[in-house]
Structure 1
Amino acid sequence: MKKIPCVMMRGGTSRGAFLLAQHLPQEPRQRDNVLMAIMGSGNELEIDGIGGGNPLTSKVAIVDRSADPAADVDYLFAQVLVHEQRVDTTPNCGNMLSAVGSFAIEHGLVNATAPVTRVRIRNVNTNTYIEADVQTPDGAVTYDGEARIDGVPGTAAPVGLTFLNAAGAKTGHIFPTGRRIDCFDGVEVTCIDMAMPVVLIPAQSLGKSGYEKPAELDGDAEFLRRLESIRLQAGEAMGLGDVRNSVIPKPVLISPPADGGSICARYFMPHACHKALAITGAIAIASSCAIEGTVSQPVARPKGGDKITIEHPGGSLDIALARQGTDPAALRASVIRTARKIFSGEVYLP
């Protein structure tokens, strides 16, 4: 049996396998076959691999030294589907991104500097750039610290992520339809591409409060049918084509905050509700709150300044926005996450 080096890491509220590109086939189909074998794709428990039987734990980060002078490393994210044998590399994942800097330093792709090392990352999926500030006291990565993020037990060292050019990550335009409000099936929505293409939908428009638990939303077949209908139409309008077999755009229910935040969100991946919140999706939601004319504006309760607190099923998430002029596409977003190395070794392929 063939074996390749593998590190299992938690990044933010996701978990997955971290691999060096040099250990994988370059041809995409062969590469994807290897990833599906590693994770056990096509079985609800992923019993024959190291996947966790959930979209949040069936992810892969492929890391390589970058030839781009603006980046230190390239990061290709792969969403390995659980119930069917398929790999989707169209989106980015900001949670897995939280661990890319640490992985790169520990594998000699970036030299550490005390007390913090800034790793310049190019996300290959979206050709966007992110700066990750990794805690490296004494010139080595530390995972221990006092930072706490909702959806993850305990504390860990903070990882600062700044998204430098998130606008139009997949479509080339922050508002791909050319409008800030569209109407599908009689429901007004905002289609925005900021780190992740999403469709923002006021929860009450679909007969929901927006405060439901994920299991309650996932169990409502008629609601999911309506949500998917809107998503498919939005995908066409955003220039993404037929998105039935794509995980983007992501549909998001939004509602007024219930616990002192700026806005409340229920984020779908796209056919199951996230138990917390995707980082890239959070950047899109936060940006929509700061831009006039979106469906988020009447719903959001801004606190002043440029911090947007998004309430989600697992707690809340803070996004700091930096404005550079009046162009909404020039917004920069920063967030604090944590990461942990769980194991390193070799994974065997059948």
Structure 2
Amino acid sequence: MTTANVVPDQLTVRCVLMRGGTSKGLYFHEADLPAPGAGRDAVLARVMGSPDPLQIDGLGGSRPITSKLAIVARSERADADVDYTFGQVEIERAAVVYSGNCGNISAGVGPFAIDEGLVTAAEGVTPVRIHNTNTGVVMTAYVPVQAGKARVLGDFAIPGVPGTGAEIVMDWARTVGAKTGALLPTGRAVDDIVLESGSVVRATICDVGNPCVWIPAADVGLDGSELADRIDGDSALVDAVREIRGKAAVRIGLCADWRSVDDQSPGLPMVGLVAAPAGYRTLSGTVSEGGDMDLRVRLIFMNRLHESIAGTASVCLAAASRVSGSVVSAVATQRRRDTILIGHPSGITPARVTAHAIRRPPYVSFDLLGFSRTARRLMDCAAYYPYPAP
């Protein structure tokens, strides 16, 4: 629970600052926080520094990928070791969104649970069964362990993170239909979304990990190699993507009016702009070659270009690539039976997918859906925040 401190007009709460994959967030023990509700959310937003576009008076990093949190506790479920709640702290509003999960932050939950003594470590690799309370599904993290603690050093690299680290394998096969109950919530591989302008956008609405809307980049006038300066700075494009997201959200029951999607369902569904493989220049200035990937994607999250690819989006994209007739399968090469190589703004990231055909809709079932990430504990601290205003 939050406690008073020697500083007379501030309170503290213990947390761990961790990088999980290409995201960074605060990891809390559930017992150290107030009970769920407005009071807890006010504490979390204040610790993060919201509302403020720079989050200058808190621990957030002014971007959606650095304004995240995980709340972890031992689980009472027979099929899980820990319960984990993901929170996306909005930047310009004092609000915490719990509508979905984050694959990158999930990658840090296993190491956190081991290092904090919530799970008994086994030398070599320790499987951690993680019940995500946002979606009700269980995923398994295979965490490298050395001397009873999560191993950090290794030779696995992911685009968007400098250097290498110990590979954490995440299995998400049990997250199909996590939010809506179905791989294809509308029952169709492709839906036509009619915009207010009269133009029609083809979309595959898919729910694995988190619901995502996959559309051809060409349908919104892009080629699939754009970076933030081209996407975030184009207000008409951002508005069109918001409209697509809102109208898809209405179709799958996440909001009642597409114009209110930012209030009723701020984070979900995510929208991915997909295109066939081709070379492009990454955020770091290097070149990703078309022959090294199966497709390109530009993911829009919280109305901004994601700097890489969200973990949940990568498994959703992998699943959609195996759906016959989807907009993803139309642009993706399938040179590898169990892997798809995703070209995104920071480089190329693999996702694992093993599927087989079935005779009933959606005519595909998955034996494996997953990805690998690295994670690292950055700081173990007491976070300070001022007493609430009277």
Q: Which runs of 5+ in 1 are unaligned?
A: none
Kindly tell me the number of residue pairs found equivalent between the two proteins.
Answer: 350
Cα contact 1:15–1:58 (8 A) shared by 2? yes
Q: Which residue of 207, 215, 221 corresponds with 1:193?
A: 207
For 2:312, what is the secondary structure of its paired residue?
helix
Q: Which residue of 216, 224, 229 corresponds with 1:210?
A: 224
Q: Could you say which residue in structure 1 is the equivalent of 2:276? A: 256
Q: Could you say which residue in structure 2 is the equivalent of 1:282? A: 314
Cα contact 1:174–1:329 (8 A) shared by 2? no
Determine the C-alpha separation between the residues in 2 that align with 1:306 and 1:322: 5
Determine the C-alpha separation between the residues in 2 that align with 1:286 and 1:83: 32
Using the size of structure 1 for normalisation, the TM-score is 0.97
Structure 1 residue 344 corresponds to structure 2 residue 380? yes
Q: CA deviation at 1:164?
A: 3.1
Q: CA deviation at 1:31?
A: 1.3
Determine the C-alpha separation between the residues in 2 that align with 1:225 and 1:4: 38
Cα contact 1:177–1:191 (8 A) shared by 2? yes
Q: Percent sequence identity over matched residues?
A: 37
Structure 1 residue 158 corresponds to structure 2 residue 190? no
Going from structure 1 to structure 2, the CA distance change for 1:183 and 1:97 (only over 3 Å counts) comes to same
Q: Which runs of 5+ in 2 are unaligned?
A: 1-9, 195-199, 279-289
Cα contact 1:196–1:284 (8 A) shared by 2? yes
Determine the C-alpha separation between the residues in 2 that align with 1:140 and 1:192: 36
- Write out per-residue CA displacement over residues 305-324 of structure 1, whole angstroms, 9 at most, x where no aligned residue: 12111100000111111236
Structure 1 residue 146 corresponds to structure 2 residue 177? no
Q: CA deviation at 1:91?
A: 1.1
Cα contact 2:315–2:352 (8 A) shared by 1? no
Runs of 4 or more off by more than 4 Å in structure 1?
A: none
After superposition, where does 1:256-335 map in structure 2 within 5 Å?
A: 256-258=276-278, 259-260=290-291, 261-323=293-355, 326=358, 328-335=364-371
Measured on the aligned residues, the alpha-carbon RMSD in Å equals: 1.2
After superposition, where does 1:37-116 map in structure 2 within 5 Å?
A: 37-116=46-125
One-letter amino acid matched to 1:134: V
Cα contact 1:79–1:87 (8 A) shared by 2? yes
Determine the C-alpha separation between the residues in 1 that align with 2:170 and 2:145: 15
For 2:327, what is the secondary structure of its paired residue?
coil
Determine the C-alpha separation between the residues in 2 that align with 1:230 and 1:331: 31
For 1:282, what is the secondary structure of its paired residue?
helix
- Write out per-residue CA displacement over residues 76-109 of structure 1, whole angstroms, 9 at most, x where no aligned residue: 0000011111110001000011110111011111
Cα contact 2:157–2:164 (8 A) shared by 1? yes
Determine the C-alpha separation between the residues in 2 that align with 1:304 and 1:100: 30
- Write out per-residue CA displacement over residues 234-275 of structure 1, whole angstroms, 9 at most, x where no aligned residue: 101112123232210111100001122111100011300001
- Write out per-residue CA displacement over residues 125-181 of structure 1, whole angstroms, 9 at most, x where no aligned residue: 111111111111232222111111100001111111111311111111111112111
Going from structure 1 to structure 2, the CA distance change for 1:298 and 1:323 (only over 3 Å counts) comes to closer
One-letter amino acid matched to 1:163: W
One-letter amino acid matched to 1:288: A
Q: CA deviation at 1:325?
A: 5.7
Q: Could you say which residue in structure 2 is the equivalent of 1:240? A: 254
Going from structure 1 to structure 2, the CA distance change for 1:331 and 1:270 (only over 3 Å counts) comes to farther
After superposition, where does 1:9-28 map in structure 2 within 5 Å?
A: 9-28=18-37
Determine the C-alpha separation between the residues in 1 that align with 2:240 and 2:12: 44
